[in-house]
Amino acid sequence: MVFHDTPEPSEAEFDRSLRPGSFAEFVGQDQIRDNLRIAIAAARGRSEPLDHSLLCGPPGLGKTTLAHLIAHGMGVELIITSGPALAAPRDLAGTLTRLKRNQVLFVDEIHRLPMALEEYLYSAMEDHAIDVVLDSGPGGRTVRLGVQPFTLVGATTREGLLSAAFRSRFGIVERLEPYPPADLEQILQRAAGRLHVQVAGDAASLLALRSRGTPRMALRILRRVRDLAQVEQRPVIDRSIAVEALDRLRIDALGLEEIDRKLLRAIADRNEPVGLKTLAAMVDEAEDTIAEVLEPHLLRYRPARAHAARPHAHGARLRPPRPAARQRARRRTAVPGVSQS
Ligand code: ADP
């Protein structure tokens, strides 16, 4: 498993128990939080559904959490589904027609929604109706079913894969950025409090620095450090326990894991541009994981020297990302030497 990838089923309960219950508990991303708060208050004031909202950003940054907070703020239940879970229009028809007025439908990984369903959603989003096909083929009949005004909240790690037509139907588009270490420290200390474990300040700073700007990663590391502290009968998670746990997890000083180092080594060893398919085969990892999880993070690092990816591209010659380095990273196209073909 890639340590910072999507949650395992066993983690879902852990994630749920630590999920902020209100916007006040949601750390960082101040502008996004404020924009959503204002939009929710305004929509409630008008007794209307919130505009359809698209939340973009790498895994583990809080998109699902924000969807829960939106529903909570609107005072409605959150209905959750995901792009890969929806294959045919009938999968969506039941969900859409059962929605109550102003309810929030959360579609995770919305970029994986089949094109036919994307178009199907348009009419639900805009016309509050869907056309259900009763018999296919010549002379086939369709019946129009009403859909209550609702809010679609889509989450995506690959905003670029959504068609422009689909994207333009979202009145609110928010892009989550990796968190600065100070925010992650706050998230870690809050979680530690809930888990009834004590984390020393310098240990929390270290864990935050190694969490690649991602709350899910910070919380996963905390879980492992807590295990180690328990087994070694240490009442407080101090820096030495934190260092030992990070070593055991093979997370280096830059927050890179073995798979990141393997990827950089594979690129450096080829010494020429390498396609995503080839790279995936070389490091034995799914193409999607490389494109959606590993590459966006590696792009935030700055080579210590020009061409540092060669010949020792195993993290030692990289420097940690600067704050907001993602904007600059966006202007580049890929990890040096990686082509998206
Ligand atoms: P995503 O949907 O983007 O993959 P999640 O919303 O599932 O990410 O967040 C992963 C974990 O990190 C959850 O346990 C969540 O509670 C926690 N988390 C994410 N963002 C924040 C935040 N801003 N403040 C506190 N906890 C957060």
Residue 333 lies in a domain: no
Say if residue 214 is in the same domain as residue 95: no
Distance of CA 275 to the CA centre of its chain: 24
pLDDT of 293:
78
Pocket test for ligand 1, best of 10, 31, 32, 65 (most atoms within 8 A of CB): 65
Coil, helix or strand at residue 195: coil
Q: Which amino acid is at 337?
A: G
Catalytic residue among 151, 157, 214, 289: 157
Same domain for 74 and 102, yes or no, is yes
* pLDDT (0 to 100) of residue 315: 46
3-state secondary structure of 105: strand
Active site residue 333: no
DSSP 176: -
Look up the CATH number of the domain holding residue 229.
Answer: 1.10.8.60
* Strand, helix or coil for residue 324: coil
Ligand 1 midpoint to CA 191 (Å): 11
Listed residues 232, 249, 266: the one ending a domain: 249
Q: Which atom of ligand 1 is nearest to the CA of 19?
A: 16
Can you tell me which atom of ligand 1 is nearest the CA of 29? 23
pLDDT score of 329: 47
Strands (E), the chain: 53-56, 78-82, 104-108, 129-133, 142-146, 151-156, 172-175, 198-199, 236-237, 274-275, 302-303, 318-319, 338-339
Q: Specify whether 214 is catalytic.
A: no
d(CA 267, CA 274) in angstroms, rounded, equals 7
Structure tokens at 111: 């970029």
CA of residue 133 relative to chain centroid, distance = 35
Atom of ligand 1 at shortest range from CA of 176 = 3
Judgement on whether residues 278 and 239 belong to the same structural domain of the protein: no
CB 212 within 8 A of CB 318: no
Atom of ligand 1 nearest to the CA of 61: 3
Domain of 28, CATH number, reads 3.40.50.300
**How far is ligand 1, taken at its centre, from the CA of residue 253, in Å?**
23
Regarding whether 156 and 195 lie in a shared domain, the answer is: no
Choosing from 118, 152, 175, the residue where a domain stops is 175
Do 23 and 155 fall into the same domain?
A: yes
CA of 290 to the centre of ligand 1 (A): 21
Query: What is the Cα–Cα distance from 219 to 77, expressed in whole angstroms?
Result: 26
Residues 228 and 273 in one domain: no
Q: With a 6 A CB cut-off, is 27 part of the ligand 1 pocket?
A: yes
Atom 4 of ligand 1: nearest residue by CA position? 60
Answer yes or no: do 300 and 213 share one domain. no
In this structure, are 316 and 196 located in the same domain? no
Parent domain of 279: 258-322
Using most ligand atoms within 8 A of CB, pick from 3, 5, 8, 19 the residue to mutate for ligand 1: 19
In terms of phi and psi (left: phi > 0; alpha: psi -120 to 50; beta: otherwise), the region of 52 is beta
Q: Is 178's C-beta closer than 6 angstroms to any atom of ligand 1?
A: no
Same domain, 63 and 24: yes
- CA 11 distance to own-chain centroid: 15
How many residues in total does the chain contain?
A: 341
Q: Is residue 302 part of a domain?
A: yes
pLDDT score recorded for residue 158:
87
Closest atom, ligand 1, to C-alpha of 108: 2
Cα–Cα distance for residue pair 204/218, rounded to 1 Å: 10
SS3 138: coil
pLDDT of residue 30: 93
Count of structural domains, the chain: 3
The predicted structure's pLDDT at residue 8: 62
Beta-bridged to residue 145, according to DSSP, are: 130
Same-domain pairing of 50 and 131: yes
Q: Is 262 a catalytic residue?
A: no
Residues in the chain predicted with pLDDT less than 50, given as ranges, are 1-2, 4, 306-308, 311, 313-315, 325-341
Active-site residue among 216, 261, 265, 300? 216
**Are residues 79 and 117 located together in one domain of the fold?**
yes
Q: Does the annotation mark 46 as catalytic?
A: no
**74, 207: one domain:** no
Known catalytic residue at 277: no
